[in-house]
Amino acid sequence: MARLGIDPPRPRRADAQRNRTRVLDAARAAFAEHGERTSVAVIAELAGVGVGTVYRHFPTKDALREALILERLRALLAELDAATREEPEAWPAFRRFFLAGADLQIRDRSLMQFIAGVTISGHELERERSRLYARARTLMRAAQREGTMRADVDAGDLPLLLGGIAQVIAGAGPRAVEFGERLVAIVLDGLAAPGSTPLRGRGPSQQEIGELFYGAVRPAEQGSERSR
């Protein structure tokens, strides 16, 4: 029997994966340079594919941006896990994680906007961010038990610190790297024990962080807050 002129499924899947990777690489570069102004047409041109190919993988520009952020969040989570595993004490591990997070924000505008509360996120992004902050809180508490991180810092302070760095970077223009590195150094010195100026009050709760960054608290966040 003569063979039909139909491509076998495996090569198609491989081609689709290559195209998806090219689209993500192009989108990362475009968002880093242009932020929200980036268009799907520009991303497609950079990737060397048609606009239809982009939409087959990512139905909206927001879906594409969220895929990039999710990739970055998982990379940061992997760095946090590696730092916790490889560093001899909690403070060097936390410092390594914090520096990695700041560096990613400087290099990736989409992640910067997400951490600063500009980007509206989906369920999967919320879940990964919750995992990241939960493990970071565990590391912070370990550093506090060791006496290397000041005891009056709350876990809720971490999103504010990262979000504040992101906001500074957002308006810094060509000096973003310089300003970001200066601010990170100041923040880390302020977190180290013993801390010369006592902190007033308490850090924000998860509900307050949601209200501050997003203007509203999702039901899942409310449930998480009650369970703390």
134 Cβ partners below 8 Å, 6+ apart? none
List, by residue range, all CATH 1.10.10.60 domains of the chain: 8-59
Low-confidence stretches of the chain (pLDDT beneath 70)? 1-12, 109-121, 210, 212-228
Helices 206-214 and 219-227, packing angle to 10 deg: 150
For domain 61-227, give the CATH number: 1.10.357.10
- Delimit the CATH 1.10.357.10 region(s) of the chain: 61-227
Asked if 105 and 161 count as a contact pair (C-beta separation under 8 A), the reply is no
CA distance 54 to 19: 8
Instruction: Tell me the CA distances in angstroms from 124 to 35, 49, 73, 90, 111, one per residue in order.
Output: 22, 27, 11, 28, 15
Question: Residue 121: its pLDDT value, please?
Answer: 62
Instruction: Name the pTM for this structure.
Output: 0.75
Ramachandran quadrant class, 48 (left: phi over 0; alpha: psi -120 to 50; beta: rest): left
The predicted structure's pLDDT at residue 124: 84
DSSP 147: T
CATH code, 8-59: 1.10.10.60
What is the distance in angstroms between the CA of the first residue and the CA of the last residue of the chain?
Answer: 66
Task: Determine whether 45 is exposed, middle or buried from the number of CB atoms within 10 Å of its CB (0-12, 13-18, 19+).
Answer: middle
